[in-house]
Amino acid sequence: MRLFRALAFLLVLHLLQGSNASLVQLNDNGYEDVIIAIDPDVPEDGEIIEQIKAMVTTASTYLFEATEKRFFFKNVSILIPETWKGNPQYRRPKHESYKHADVIVAPPTLPGQDEPYTRQFTECGAKAEYIHFTPDVVLGKKQSEYGPLGRLLVHEWAHLRWGVFDEYNEDQPFYSAKSKKIEATRCSTGISGTNSVYKCQGGSCFTRGCRTDSTTKLYEKDCQFFPDKVQTEKTSIMFMQSIDSVVDFCNEKNHNQEAPSLQNLKCNFRSTWEVIRESEDFSRATPVTGPPSPPAFSLLRISERIVCLVLDKSGSMSGSNRLNRMNQAAKHFLLQTVENGSWVGMVQFDSSASIKSELIQIRSDSERDALVKSLPTQATGGTSICAGIRTAFQVIGNVASQLDGSEIVLLTDGEDNTASVCIDEVKESGVIIHFIALGPSADQAVIQMSNETGGNHFYASDNAENNGLIDAFAALTSENAGLSQKSIQLESKGLKLTSDAWMNDTVIIDSTVGKDTFFLVTWTAQPPSIFLWDPSGTLTAGFTQDTASRMAYLRIIGNAQVGTWIYSLQAKANSEILAITVTSRAANSSVPPIAVSAKMNKDTNSFPSPMIVYAEVRQGYVPILGASVTAVIESNSGNTEVLELLDNGAGADAFKDDGVYSRYFTSYSENGRYSLKVQAHAGTNSARQSLKHAQSRAAYIPGWVVNGEIEGNPPRPEADENTETILENFSRTASGGAFVVSGFPNSPFPDPYPPSQITDLDATPEGEEVTLTWTAPGEDFDVGKVQQYIIRISGSMIDLRDNFDDALQVNTTDLLPKEANSKETFTFKPGNIPEENATHIFIAIQSVDKSNLTSKVSNIAQVALFIPQADPSPDESHPNPSPDKNYNSGINISLLVLSVVGSVVVVSIILSTTICILEKKNSSSRPRTGF
């Protein structure tokens, strides 16, 4: 019963927190524990710290007023990299790390691309990952393009904290409005400005009116909306917070539901304020009187890593080869994963605890070897988790003046009824607990310790072929080290084999990695024959064999050869389990390595609610597209489910081609812990760097209209998708941690899963017909094939959204659904819709599966029933367009020259006519003479 209550408590706790890494808490209307981290690659500049303080201080007041006196920033920690010089003002972090950063100050994603953005790849209303500002943005060098820093932070905070989206859309910057005019995508429509084409070349800038595109009937590609510098409209912060008059979010009264903004597309046409009102923050805050106090700042500097292994050697560890597997994984961590310069100690525990090694600073292989020799060799006794933790406190305290920011890696396989006794002690210590649960019975109370201290939670089953224990230890790289210092896992694979059977495969070492490459082979019965060929075909020798731990390993000195390495392992015993792990580090500190990270959308889930798997593939901050990404999910008893993850902008994937690969997970098989591992591969010419501008970013302001003239900003570097860098072959593996499932029934149950919502429905008019395209959903979310589609149309977007079943249904008899994730196309003739004076046809789809379960109504596509009217311009007033106007220093030179020339011509004509008339008069008054 005690365990059940603890599990129920943890379920509530994790459902509240989700899998977002932020430590932010809302307390008495103020946001506490906000972390702003300066990336190690940012050169030291004390002005960045001062500007961060000024930014947060002004943002706090702006946020307070924009949320009707509800929210403000109460305290903020600024995380300073170890590469910056020490300062008496700087303290050692406790639980703060780059993993938990809410705002990251880092170099541009690509050179010259300074745009501020929020990494947001979840559904409407869900918290995002982090905000990215470049040093130039923080130092105020981009204010003319993106507006004041404080306002900019509030715009991005709304993305991050409340899951709202931008109220502009660079893919659809204009639309056909009900007014039958072409309007700029914005909210609210009260924002005034000019639609123009503005180009600069050789120190001169040219402007002209926008022409309409013959295909879209909207403005041409180069047309942009230039807002008036002086405005009176107060909304919206999610359109252009940089406009001086804008101080509010759009609400249901002034929201522009017509515009194809990302907010409308992702949030079902609800305003940003409606979404914010539905947030957990809003339910916990009421307006307060009086201004908020200024935010308090803590300056925290990263220092040397301190980590203590706390390893279970109780009697239960003698079963299922657990003690040996623990030692294999711990040796890999000590020999390869933990970074040079780190301090490492070791504690073992059963019903009591003992110190196996005091803290040793790792400077060479000798320290690593000494730690390896300290690993437990026998499994006996009971389980006292708190004894192990308290002894680790002692080990750390013997060297460090404080425990803040030090780490404990706790591995256990058993339950301990007394573990909850030291939870408060752990929280107050400042230590971070990383929890590795081995087997199905590992204690639940430690999850709370891990969660509340900002640590990681991993699970490994007793199935050694899944390699889960080594994967967990391999994931425990320093959260505050630069990416070039971290060990990166390239391969993790295991197989059950019979005698003389072979395990053959390849691993790719690409040019971004190769330094300190480490091959590890493990077995359960007898040493296998190991063959490893480098890319040139040379057989590589030199494996160190550790028969006591049933493992062999090879470290490549220097940089490993780039290319495909081939390995063959031959089992020498019946019922053998072989596994291989390959890790490496960045080949060059100035070139970011390709990396993959993985997570679930929740840490804890109750059946039958679906979960979402996310995997992000990137190089530095640049997304990688076109990779083949799979997720391997292992249940409590070792059952595995393999999912192909997709970056197609459909189903669970929020945005197409953003480098985040996603999929629904519904294949639950039991209650308890599940683990996640992700593998990413790229074949020849298949993957590429994305040059697209990031989603969820502050709008770039091309210029302002001042006194009727455009004052342009420096042009933004434009991304040419045709020049995207094609990447070489690569392979990566990463652990996504553990999650807990409850409520799975023991008896058969009816189909609980409908098809997923269609989110990419698009409509194109073709004469009297309309062609629809969308990505097919599945029988169960995004797996299988639906039974049928229901397509309905209406002249009212709101009626179609709120009363879908009452709208006019389209005949879809000939529409046969395809397999999930296929591209669907359907053409129909709309006919007459019941709404009078309708200006648009709005279209939506609902899917039905064989159990007659229906999906959510799709996004709403629309087709205009008219050709929209463009703004009057010289191009449309005259069949032959006049030369472009030349705006230089605010003076229209071309117009001036034309005016002068025109005046001269007019005067010349008048003078010539006058002279001609006078001559004629004089001629008529003289006598004629003849011959």
CA 542 to chain centre: 41
* Local confidence band at 232 (pLDDT 50, 70, 90 cut-offs): very high
Proportion of the chain above pLDDT 70, given as a percent? 91
Q: With a cut of 50, say whether residue 552 has pLDDT above it.
A: yes
Q: With a cut of 90, say whether residue 625 has pLDDT above it.
A: yes
- Of the candidates 16, 21, 10, the residue with the CA atom closest to the CA atom of residue 737: 21
* Residue 304 annotated to the active site: no
Query: pLDDT digits over 750-787, tens only?
Result: 999 999 999 999 999 998 899 999 999 999 999 999 99
Strands of 635-715 (E only): list them.
640-645, 660-665, 672-682, 688-689, 703-706, 709-712
629 beta partners: 645, 680
Taking the C-alpha atoms of residue 693 and residue 128, their distance in angstroms, rounded to an integer, is: 17
Average pLDDT, the chain: 90
φ/ψ of 357, rounded to 5, equals -155, 130
* Local confidence band at 130 (pLDDT 50, 70, 90 cut-offs): very high
CA dihedral over 478, 484, 486, 490, signed as positive or negative: positive
The answer to whether the pTM exceeds 0.75 is: yes
- State the pairing for strand pair 502-509/563-570: antiparallel
Q: With a cut of 50, say whether residue 538 has pLDDT above it.
A: yes
Q: What's the average model confidence in pLDDT over 607-611? A: 96
CA dihedral over 95, 99, 103, 104, signed as positive or negative: positive
Q: Which residues of 79-102 are buried (b: 16+ CB within 10 A; e: fewer)?
A: bbbeebeeeeebbbbbbbbbbbbb
Give me the catalytic one of 156, 183, 479, 491: 156
Query: pLDDT digits over 360-389, tens only?
Result: 999 999 999 999 999 999 999 999 999 999
103 beta partners: 36, 131
Contact assessment for residue 139 and residue 46, using Cβ atoms and an 8 Å cutoff: no
Cβ-based neighbours of 522, under 8 Å, separated by 6 or more:
328, 464, 470, 550, 551, 578, 579, 580, 581
Query: pLDDT digits over 141-182, tens only?
Result: 999 999 999 999 999 999 999 999 999 999 999 999 999 999
Q: With a cut of 70, say whether residue 2 has pLDDT above it.
A: no
Contact assessment for residue 643 and residue 821, using Cβ atoms and an 8 Å cutoff: no
Taking the C-alpha atoms of residue 672 and residue 96, their distance in angstroms, rounded to an integer, is: 29
Query: pLDDT digits over 19-56, tens only?
Result: 568 999 999 999 999 999 999 999 999 999 999 999 99
